[in-house]
Structure formats: structure tokens, C-alpha cells
């Protein structure tokens, strides 16, 4: 058996916000899983081009020397598709024998588009560890038959697309070793994050999580997550982080166990999360506070009952209002997010939502235009939802209220911009600062913020400050 030299690459995108970049956990988990399965037969190098775009020079230099046997590229969003293809084409042109696999969100929802560029050998669909590991095993054993690997798309010797059986998900997430953060230049990352689950129990039409995870949600045990928290503190001296789950706390009992472990620990943590107002109660929020929570992001999207039904979020405004009240009583900063341009919404409906957010005076509020991401229900049913895409360049599908990507039968592009500007005006009258015009997106740890460009985790304080 031969030893395989592997490069794993995270693709950069325009308008990144440096302060919000954290170690790519998907690739960190892939590193740990590959080393668990094939440690003696692989050598891995990682290139986070989002953090360090200049590493592309080193990567291409090694490609020119035909250094790698296998390259894995994570195409993690729509905006990275063209960069993914550009880098794959360079690899194919300058190192013809190197095998190239692409995984991630965009790979799952645009597999034919990616593999039809004649520079990609394999596309990994959905969860990547198992399928990618099996591909590497084939390379080690020099086997060229791939039909028995689940969850991939490839071209056979006759240049035909072959899609294998459905992806197999790792049922027990505790079976995956903790993410290998040592595989990256971890000291350079301005933000740190943890994921305690994969998937989401909800089916919002603007989110691709349900499709990507095939309507499955799995949770790491509280003990497994806590083991990672201890490692962050003892090895990396990190005690501030963001829980990057789609809906943190959706498994209430597991969450309580984790929070109690954190409370009973000798270490004190500070963290933020995204959750729903209808899954938290006063008891759970009290544990959030005791465990070190310094910000909760509640997804609102719209306060209109009919819109909530259309977008399949079905969030109760009464429960959300109560959750915000409890959170504020505990002196935990609140972030709310709103989507303008949702199917079925009129100007009056959006103004109703703006007034709802004004009433609750969040520490930070986000107003983003609706974006029809690949893999979402709305993207797959544009006619049904009466949505018209007006920006077809995938690399420009960035949440920016001044540059909407689509419009509806009730709200034009200009309407969406106008409503976002109205929200900004009303909040500025209350003393809020506007990202990106009053202050740059890199600013963090501030209160009374209104944001109209995508810059996640703005409110989380700087690491170890």
C-alpha cells in the first residue's frame, strides 16, 4: 500500500469579515477522522485560504511540483463556487495525476455543475467523513472502482456521471474524534467556535440545513462536548467561543447536562449562540447565564403570523417576546435577525416587523434581504413562492440589504432597499450605530447595533480580552 499525500482546502470569498473567521470545523473533523482511519498511510496539509489567502502561492507551488496525490476542497457556500472551480482547474492543468474531490454545501446541491467542469474527479454529497475516508482508502490500495462508496458523484472511464447510493451519516457523533484544530494555524484565528449537533429539527424555506442533513438531527453527548471545552481551555487557553449549531438548545435535556457540566467546572467560559424563542424557558435561560452566556441570537425573520406559516418557521411572537423579556432580566444581550423580502410579505407586513423589533430594543438587530440559497425550499420552488432572481452571479449572493439578490411579486428590489433604509433610520433615531456605514463590520462587543451586511458573531467579545 502506498502513502497518500493530501491537501485540504477551504475556499475564500469576497467581503469576508476577518474578525469572524474561526477554524473550519468541517475540515478539522475530517482531519481527525482520516487520521483515525488511515494515520500510517496518509500525510495531510491544510490550506485555509479564507484566513490566509496568501497560502495559495505555497499551494500552487506544490501543485506545480506534483506534490499531492489527492486534494479535497470544501465549497462551503454559493459565493465560493467560482473560486472552487478556478482552483480546481489550476490543479488539473498543472498536476494532471492529482485526484480532486469537492465537498460541502455547494457540492451537495450543485454536484453536476461542479463535476462537469472537467477538473473534478469526485463530488462528496452531504456529510463528508465516511465517503471521503473510503475514497482515500481506495487511493491507498490503488483501487479504481468506486461504485461501493456511498454519497459520491464521479465520472467513469466512459465520461458518464455515476451517482452512488445515498450518503450514510455517522449515527453517533461521539464516534468522530474531536476536531483537529492543530491541523491549522490556530493561533491566528480571531474567533473560536464549537458545534454540538448536526442538522436542524425545523424546515424553514430559506435554509438548506434540512436538505443537507436529509431531515436528520444528531447530537453529541454533553460529556463529549464538555471534553472539547476542557481541551480548548487547557491546550489552547480559549474560554470564549460561539456555539455554531443551527438551533442551539433544541435537545433541551442534553443542553441542560452540558450547561451543568460547565457550571460545575473549575473553568469559566463566555459564549454566544443562535436559538429559537419558543424552545427556551426561564429555567434554561438561567442555566445559560450561569454557564457564561454573553449573547443570544434569536431568529425572528418576520413578526407576521401568515408569513411565519409561509416560511414554515411557525414561531410564536408571544413566546419570542417572553423569551426576550427573560433574557433581558438575566442581563444577557439580545440579538434579533429579520429577513426582508420573504414570500407573501407586503410593505405593511415588513413595517409591522420593524415595529416589533423597535418595541423589544435588542442590543443588536440584523436586517438582511431574502436570499434564495441553493438547496433551499424557496430556491427549488421559485414559481410557487412567486420569487424572481435578479442577480444570477453566485459569487454575489451575499447578504447585503443594499444589493438584494431577488424580489417577489409584492416587493421589488427597490422596495426591499427602501424598507431596510427605513429600519436603519428608525433605529438610528434611538441611538443605534449602523454596520457597515457608521462603523465597520470588524467592530465587536458593542451594543445598540443595526446591521445590514452579513458579519456573523459581531457581538461576541474579542478572544481573551
pLDDT category of residue 392 using cuts at 50, 70 and 90: confident
In this structure, the strands spanning 387-389 and 218-219 are unpaired
Q: Where, residue-wise, is CATH 3.20.20.70 in the chain? A: 191-451
Range of weakest confidence among 3-17, 163-177, 260-274: 3-17
Per-residue pLDDT at 442 exceeds 50: yes
pLDDT above 90 covers what percent of the chain? Answer: 83
8-state DSSP, 449? E
Query: At residue 400, does pLDDT exceed 50?
Result: yes
Q: Cβ contacts of residue 366 below 8 Å, gap of 6+?
A: 335, 336, 337, 338, 450, 451, 452
pTM: 0.94
Helix H or strand E encompassing 232? helix 222-236
The reported pLDDT for the residue numbered 461 is 54
d(CA 422, CA 427): 9
Answer whether residue 447 shows pLDDT above 90. no
State the average pLDDT over residues 41-67.
97
How many residues does this entry show for the chain?
A: 465
Q: Give 133-189 pLDDT, tens digit per residue.
A: 999 999 999 999 999 999 999 988 888 889 999 999 999 999 999 999 999 999 999
Q: Give the CATH number of domain 191-451; options: 3.40.30.10, 3.20.20.70, 1.20.1330.10, 2.60.40.1180.
A: 3.20.20.70
Q: How far apart are the first and last CA of the chain?
A: 49
**Across 262-290, average pLDDT:** 97
Residue 406, sorted as left (phi over 0), alpha (psi -120 to 50) or beta, turns out to be beta
Please tell me the CATH code under which domain 4-163 is placed.
3.40.50.280
Mean of pLDDT over the chain: 93
In this structure, what is the dihedral angle of CA atoms 250, 255, 256, 261, given to the nearest 10 degrees? Answer: -170
The whole-number average pLDDT for the span 413-427 is 96
DSSP 302-362: ---HHHHHHTT----HHHHHHHHHHHHHTT--EEEEEEES-TT--HHHHHHHHHHHHHH--
Residues 199 and 213: beta-carbon distance below 8 Å? yes
Cβ neighbour number for residue 316 with a 10 Å cutoff: 14
**Beta-sheet pairing, 293-301 with 270-275:** parallel
The pLDDT of 354-374, averaged and rounded, is 95
Tell whether omega for the bond before 413 is within 30 degrees of 0, i.e. cis.
no
- Residues above pLDDT 70, as percent of the chain: 96
pLDDT exceeds cutoff 70 at 15: no
- Judged on CB neighbours under 10 Å (0-12, 13-18, 19+), 177 is middle
Burial of 426 (0-12, 13-18, 19+ CB in 10 A): middle
Q: Cα 189 from chain centroid? A: 17
Question: Which residue spans of the chain are classified as CATH 3.40.50.280?
Answer: 4-163
Amino acid at each position: 500500500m502506498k502513502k497518500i499525500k493530501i491537501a485540504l482546502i477551504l475556499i475564500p470569498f469576497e467581503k469576508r469579515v476577518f474578525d469572524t473567521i474561526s477554524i473550519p470545523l468541517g475540515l478539522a473533523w475530517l482531519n481527525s477522522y482520516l487520521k483515525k482511519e488511515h494515520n500510517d498511510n496518509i500525510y495531510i496539509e491544510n490550506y485555509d485560504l479564507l484566513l490566509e489567502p496568501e497560502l495559495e502561492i505555497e499551494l500552487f507551488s506544490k501543485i506545480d511540483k506534483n506534490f499531492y496525490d489527492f486534494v479535497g476542497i470544501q465549497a462551503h457556500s454559493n459565493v465560493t463556487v467560482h473560486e472552487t472551480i478556478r482552483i480546481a482547474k489550476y490543479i488539473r492543468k498543472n498536476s494532471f495525476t492529482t485526484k480532486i474531490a469537492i465537498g460541502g454545501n455547494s457540492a451537495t446541491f450543485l454536484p453536476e455543475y461542479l463535476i462537469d467542469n472537467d477538473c473534478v474527479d469526485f463530488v462528496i454529497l452531504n456529510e463528508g467523513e465516511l465517503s471521503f475516508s473510503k475514497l482515500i482508502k481506495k487511493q491507498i490500495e490503488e483501487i479504481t472502482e468506486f461504485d461501493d462508496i456511498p454519497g459520491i458523484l464521479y465520472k467513469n472511464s466512459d465520461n458518464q456521471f455515476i451517482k452512488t447510493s445515498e450518503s450514510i451519516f455517522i449515527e453517533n457523533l461521539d464516534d468522530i474524534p474531536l476536531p483537529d484544530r492543530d491541523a491549522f494555524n490556530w493561533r491566528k484565528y480571531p474567533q473560536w467556535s464549537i458545534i454540538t449537533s448536526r442538522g436542524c429539527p425545523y424546515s424553514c424555506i430559506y435554509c438548506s440545513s434540512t436538505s443537507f442533513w436529509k431531515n436528520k438531527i444528531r447530537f453529541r453527548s454533553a460529556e463529549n462536548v464538555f471534553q472539547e471545552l476542557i481541551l480548548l481551555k487547557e491546550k489552547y487557553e480559549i474560554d470564549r467561543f460561539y456555539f455554531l449549531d443551527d438551533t442551539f438548545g433544541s435537545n433541551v435535556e442534553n443542553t441542560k447536562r452540558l450547561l451543568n457540566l460547565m457550571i460545575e467546572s473549575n473553568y469559566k467560559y463566555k459564549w454566544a449562540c443562535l436559538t429559537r424563542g419558543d424552545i427556551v424557558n426561564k429555567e434554561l435561560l438561567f442555566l445559560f447565564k450561569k454557564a457564561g452566556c454573553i449573547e443570544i441570537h434569536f431568529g425572528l425573520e418576520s413578526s407576521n403570523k401568515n408569513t411565519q406559516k409561509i416560511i414554515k418557521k411557525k414561531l410564536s411572537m408571544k413566546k419570542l417576546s417572553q423569551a426576550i423579556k427573560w433574557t433581558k432580566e438575566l442581563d444577557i444581550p439580545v440579538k434579533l435577525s429579520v429577513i426582508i423580502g420573504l414570500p407573501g410579505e407586503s410593505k405593511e407586513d415588513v413595517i409591522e416587523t420593524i415595529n416589533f423589533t423597535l418595541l423589544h430594543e435588542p442590543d443588536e438587530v440584523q436586517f438582511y434581504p431574502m436570499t434564495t440559497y441553493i438547496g433551499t425550499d424557496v430556491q427549488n420552488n421559485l414559481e410557487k413562492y412567486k420569487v424572481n432572481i435578479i442577480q444570477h452571479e453566485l459569487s454575489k449572493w451575499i447578504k447585503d440589504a443594499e444589493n438584494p439578490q431577488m424580489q417577489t411579486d409584492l416587493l421589488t428590489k427597490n422596495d426591499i432597499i427602501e424598507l431596510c433604509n427605513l429600519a436603519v433610520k428608525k433605529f438610528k433615531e434611538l441611538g443605534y450605530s449602523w454596520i457597515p456605514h457608521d462603523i465597520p463590520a470588524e467592530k465587536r462587543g458593542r451594543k445598540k447595533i443595526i446591521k445590514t451586511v452579513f458579519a456573523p458573531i459581531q457581538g461576541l467579545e474579542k478572544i481573551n480580552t
